[in-house]
């Protein structure tokens, strides 16, 4: 048996699955129209110049937009409309006050709760929904073959699986293990990145974690604190990365920021109204402003997007409507100087 994630008993179902590859879905969506979310329990919209909370389904992936806040202690901000509810329970990493790590826990009923790594006070003062995504169903997803004692977390979560949609590799499901091996699976050959990518992932009790995905397909689960947080629970929901650099435009780095050695250079793409980033950064300086997005890719309101930092620590980038991009760290800024990953970071215009 494995540790409880949120006061419920977990049982791993160990089974092997064949890994397959699906073709990319055609890019047919004209942009983000958005369905407004009705906020509950004292939650309010648009703190700090952000957009109001909304949601849309694009090619099988639910995308959130906006930010919310409240002054009370109720962790349930809204209920998803029926068209956007997941077939299985999902846990998605999000950004909270002070770059604190947090997540959305979403049930097939549409009930949503906010959970934070630290005190809930760190959640209620600010929650960014930008960059939060999940697959609405398992249609087109191909199961991953789990290795080294890793198994599906429980029957509430989706079977761990992967699909290529609009050039982005999307994951779903959740895993856990009683072993100490950090490699839960290998990516199918056609979905392997040409360079190593580091993508944020939600762990037990909303703690900091990431997936390191190497060009040979090897996937490592890495943690900022104890590996027991990954063994207990690792969510694949909301994890994505660009398969390659096709369609991406290189970003001009400023203020002493540079591309991280041996990883993909910083770049940006716009597909179906969604802005995607890729690459990794580093700096020896102290200026948090790393680059300016070209006008085509700028958000209509300020966005706060969670990112992976050095040693799987948590951070975020803040993008204003003039395109300025600032890197912030939950802990010491040195973690962002050492390494800031842009992989899997996206927002809707």
Residues 3-14 have pLDDT tens digits of 333 333 333 333
- Domain-wise residue ranges, the chain: 35-135, 142-242, 249-348
Say what the pLDDT of residue 252 is.
98
Question: What pLDDT score does 122 carry?
Answer: 66
d(CA 257, CA 48): 26
The answer to whether domain 142-242 and domain 249-348 are alike in fold is yes
Q: What's the longest Cα–Cα distance across the chain?
A: 51
pLDDT at 6: 38
pTM (two decimals): 0.90
Give pLDDT, residue 30: 44
Residues of the chain with pLDDT under 50: 1-31
- Please write the tens of the pLDDT for every residue from 242-263: 999 999 999 999 999 999 998 9
Say what the pLDDT of residue 32 is: 52
Dist CA 268 CA 275 (whole Å) = 7
What count of other Cβ atoms lies within 10 Å of the Cβ of residue 284?
9
Other CB atoms within 10 Å distance of the CB of residue 333: 15
Looking at 1.10.10.10, 3.40.50.1820, 1.10.730.10, 2.60.40.1830, the CATH number of the domain 249-348 comes to: 2.60.40.1830
Residue 319 φ/ψ, nearest 5 degrees:
-115, 120
């Amino acid at each position: 048996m494995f540790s409880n994630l949120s006061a419920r008993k977990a049982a791993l179902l160990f089974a092997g699955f064949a890994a397959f590859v699906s073709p990319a879905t055609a890019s047919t969506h004209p942009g983000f129209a958005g369905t407004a979310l009705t906020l509950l329990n004292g939650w309010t919209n648009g703190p700090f110049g952000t957009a109001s909370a909304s949601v849309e389904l694009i090619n099988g992936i639910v995308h959130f937009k906006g930010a919310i806040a409240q002054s009370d202690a109720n962790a349930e901000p809204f209920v998803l409309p029926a068209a956007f509810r997941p077939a299985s329970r999902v846990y998605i990493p999000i950004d909270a006050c002070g770059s604190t790590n947090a997540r959305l826990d979403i049930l097939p009923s549409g009930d949503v709760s906010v959970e934070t790594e630290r005190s809930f006070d760190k959640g209620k003062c600010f929650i960014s929904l930008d960059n939060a995504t999940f697959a609405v169903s398992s249609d087109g997803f191909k199961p991953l073959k789990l290795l080294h004692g890793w198994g599906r977390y429980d029957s509430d979560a989706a079977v761990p699986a992967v699909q290529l949609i609009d050039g982005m590799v999307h994951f779903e499901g959740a895993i856990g293990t009683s072993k100490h091996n950090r490699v839960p699976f290998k990516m199918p050959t056609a979905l392997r990145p040409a360079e190593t990518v580091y993508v944020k992932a939600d762990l037990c009790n909303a703690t900091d974690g990431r997936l390191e995905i190497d060009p040979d397909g090897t996937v490592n689960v890495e943690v900022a604190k104890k590996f027991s947080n990954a063994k207990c629970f690792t969510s694949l929901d909301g994890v994505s990365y660009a398969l390659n650099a096709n369609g991406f435009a290189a970003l001009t780095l400023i203020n002493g920021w540079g591309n991280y050695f041996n990883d993909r250079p910083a770049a940006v793409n716009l597909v179906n109204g969604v802005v995607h980033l890729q690459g990794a950064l580093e700096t020896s300086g102290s200026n948090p402003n790393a680059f300016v997005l070209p006008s085509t890719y700028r958000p209509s309101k300020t966005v706060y997007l969670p990112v992976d930092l050095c040693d799987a620590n948590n951070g975020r980038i803040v993008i204003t409507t003039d395109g300025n991009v600032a890197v912030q760290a939950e802990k010491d800024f040195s973690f962002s100087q050492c390494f800031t990953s842009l992989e899997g970071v996206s927002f809707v215009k």
